Structure 1
């Protein structure tokens, strides 16, 4: 459907040079449209009144007016020298006159002291980076009140979003936001600390003594890092053996402390602590290669009340443990389907960079209002790739905001996904009372993008709910995977770029010592919590609900729609697999449509039989040259396509991010389809019993199809397994080898090599062309044999 497809747009990106640069933009802000702002930097004011400064002392307030927008320093805190050091930003096209008024805030009506006007077209200069910043100057304020003589230190200029003050400016559309909340509207970059696994392996305990020496302790070990607590199973023994791994997630500085406690499980209401041990993460063994840390013995200090009284022992036993920070793993904080990074914690294990991912966030259109809201969205965008997060500024009360901000990331692996989320800022008018509401997300796989091509489009923000699939607006993006220029014309620029498609996707430890999928899911939840804690300590913080929504996993709950879609995919594959040979066979053997092929095969057959010396010479002597020529041809074609891709010649392929038909979402007016979608989101306990009965009957009908299809596929795979086991038998292999070698050796020794070649070619021609007199519409001998191979279907009841 057209409303769910990516729409092509043609924005006027900055840095273009027209015909001098046919490949497009070249500047550092080349993926966004230039936006001109009128910047006013207000630093401080000075009172030069000749009268008594005590009686004429005032609380200065600067009000800046441009058209219908007005900003002031009324709520801004003043520094120790009476300075504001605040930059205000206005849209250039708002009005023709900029008015800067100085008022006295000691009076209720803010008495006007004086005003300075600037003509926007004539009096204000322009500044384009990398030009130096405008130097502030003192402006005398013509006083309308007798006795006042004030001067204002400020600077005024025209700039773009490339200006350094853009990230700290107070924009005119956010003038209604209080000064204490204005920081939540600014664009920011967040660098989340890298994450590392902390592995505490509890091997065994030795000479453990309970607080009550008259009983054998029933001991389990608990380990605590920050707010996460894990424990082993309890074992009743003085020398228990656990051999159990407790894995935590820690952030980059690794300055935490693991607290290990031994607990005696008894009949009391609370377990008794019989020993404690604390160790810092920095003191643990740093494992940077696949393998385990060394096993060491640790003395455990007594914990709790010791009986009998007066016992002077300094330890409660020993623990045999492996304490290590596994820095050779990649910690998944995203689900595997949408992962944006596969690097290990240790920097020495990182692969070389392939290029730069550059994203221009242009704007959005059609953002709906929130429920029970009278104003439009206060929208901002969060982009996440790797451990670098980018947040645009908040455009207040606008359903079609324009951001035009550009961000870049290093690419270490092309098979990754960029995630962008649009959110409604609820923190600019309330103090942490409401969460930022998500509008929707867009995910772009980098594997679909060609190097050095600019993809500009309007991407629909799709949300699937009970009512079906709908769009909550569109976000306009310009995306490019920039690759550095090659050293030579046709060859890759680096060894990392050339070997990138063939290297391991994950670090080696994931293959040498794999972590189970359920454990990865549990650790992913811990990693999300650590990221929330780290990003919440920034200023302004990236809120927890935003981080959790950006890192939310793929929904794997039961869905009738997904079940049918997956069955259709399997049907399509097996249909293609079963008909591929038949279609190819029919094309070759057709007697009506393939007369040239018949003639070609006939000529080749005659040449092979009538000119055996020439045939043998062609096969033996020209085979290496033909192979080399074919390899060179393929290499040249690959390099030409690579050169075209790197230089941006030719139209880029369409970027398809979502297939409505494949997801079975094209029939939104079908009652059954809408009920299947509602079934994904409904809680079972809240559904009408009649609806549940209808859904259960439908599930049984679809389950029967899945059962039959999966059973047939399992039977075929079991026959393949039986054939493999049959072929791996020593006797059968020996018999097959002798049966194949006997005619070959017979023809070779009693006739000649030419006769052997002719025999092979003859068999191939007769088998492939399948002349009319040789045709049988019956299964071949191999098919009959394969059909008779055993499977486990007869064992099913």
Structure 2
């Protein structure tokens, strides 16, 4: 999809009366319509002065939330966040229709990855989570002996569930006996490495020993406030991501995306029949065998179920 710029001159109630047609390659595309005040046409502003067009507002519409071949006519509010608060800058009247020539291709797109294959074939390494990948090392068959032992033990426990609790208790007993030789010999004491005291920056130490109220100047307080706001911003981003996942779960049966909900309902019916006909132990065993298959039988792309979940709509499109 592309972008178009149309300017209406000398009008507080502009009417564009434009009609555009785009070819959409992904039903989860978000169409964004922005409205700006063209500052280059003002008498006191020249193009060479580097003046920027002032924003009036924008409208975001996720195409997956629209039913096929239905015309939606609505007046969307143009909201902008200013230092004094949220202001309504007007309304934008739009008529939009989403049509598809082949519904089967559209439904198949929901199971396709969101990003190109290169993104998953050569992902960025994150060194901070290497210590949390013990199960992933077994699943990736880096040590085939451990992987085979894990699968064998899992199959024994899944088909003999009465052995699960005795095996867990036996494992705890053996682990306690194994760690007996490495038991602590001295009482605990202050540990500088555990406290990371040698990695603290001087300004953090200065903040730790500062009085309340502070005895420093405004610049130091501003720097500390900016640092705190940066940390709070990252926390807010993480919480927002968690909320987005919850909204996607809610969208499974809300019919906000009619095609995605239709697929989920059909798959649930098929799964209900399958779970009724096949014993639950067999289903779990087959799923674990599939998840722990050797790497040469896997694809670097995400699973269709994960791609389907990531395409579900969230409320992020309604945020300013």
Q: Tell me, yes or no, whether TM beats 0.5.
A: no
**TM-score using structure 2 length:** 0.40
**TM-score using structure 1 length:** 0.19
Give 1 or 2 for the bigger CA radius of gyration: 1
More helix as a share of residues? 2
More strand as a share of residues? 1
